[in-house]
Amino acid sequence: MPETIQSFETRVSGRWNSRHEFFGDEGRIGVLTIRRNRGGTVLGGEFRPEKGEVYTFRRDPGLLRSQFSMWTDGREWLGSSLRWSFVARSVSVSTGGKPYRLLPLPGFRRGWALYAPKTGENARIEVGMVDRNARLVVFRRLDFPLLLFAYFLGCQIYGESLWPGPSPEEVLQG
């Protein structure tokens, strides 16, 4: 496993419309709120940092889960995601630069890993077996909005990450 260069913790509260507080080395960074409709479908979310720009997550039209886009409060597009099928547990994340993939952690664990095609694993979202609080670990230089977007996508489908998925090499090359 690569060396950790940065880590964050989250504290989650609320069941239906959840609230995720982010903490770094210097204290609280901000709060992510996730909105659902009456049927339980995630409609979107919003991250309000202690300082800086607000990020908005919107559901993109489509039938598949994990189709979202991320925007700044100045209406600047930062990224979008696409899950190609109901069965595959790989989520493609596009930021306009290089593509990323969000894949289940290896082994029987809850959480997701963010991979770049050439550099490999950039970050990991680790979730305990009992609670919903998470630890976000960064291994390579990564913009915080991209890590936040990966967390937003991964926290909706934690349960799907418990069963081991395909190896990252298979998915990234195929």
The total of structural domains in the chain comes to 1
pLDDT in tens, 134-168: 999 999 999 999 999 999 988 887 666 566 666 66
Task: Give 18's pLDDT tier (boundaries 50, 70, 90).
Answer: very high
Please give the residue range of the domain that contains residue 10.
6-173
Do the domain assignments include residue 1? no
> What is the pTM for the complete model shown?
0.88
Residues facing residue 68 across a β-bridge: 59
Do the domain assignments include residue 39? yes
Question: What would the two tokens of residue 30 be?
Answer: 């901000």
Do the domain assignments include residue 148? yes
Do the domain assignments include residue 123? yes
Q: Tell me the average pLDDT across 72-80.
A: 84
| Cβ-based neighbours of 138, under 8 Å, separated by 6 or more | 4, 5, 6, 7, 8, 122, 123, 147
Whether 24 has a pLDDT exceeding 60, the answer reads yes
Please calculate the CA angle 85-91-95 and round it to the nearest 5 degrees: 130
Tell me the CATH number at 152: 2.40.160
- Three-class DSSP category at 76: coil
Do the domain assignments include residue 110? yes
Contact 69, 77 (CB under 8 A): yes
Do the domain assignments include residue 13? yes
CB burial string 13-47: b at 16+ within 10 A, e below: eeeeebebebeeeeeebbbbebebeeeeebebbbb
| Cβ-based neighbours of 35, under 8 Å, separated by 6 or more | 17, 42, 43, 44, 45
Do the domain assignments include residue 66? yes
Do the domain assignments include residue 104? yes
pLDDT in tens, 95-141: 888 889 888 888 777 888 999 888 889 999 998 878 889 999 999 99
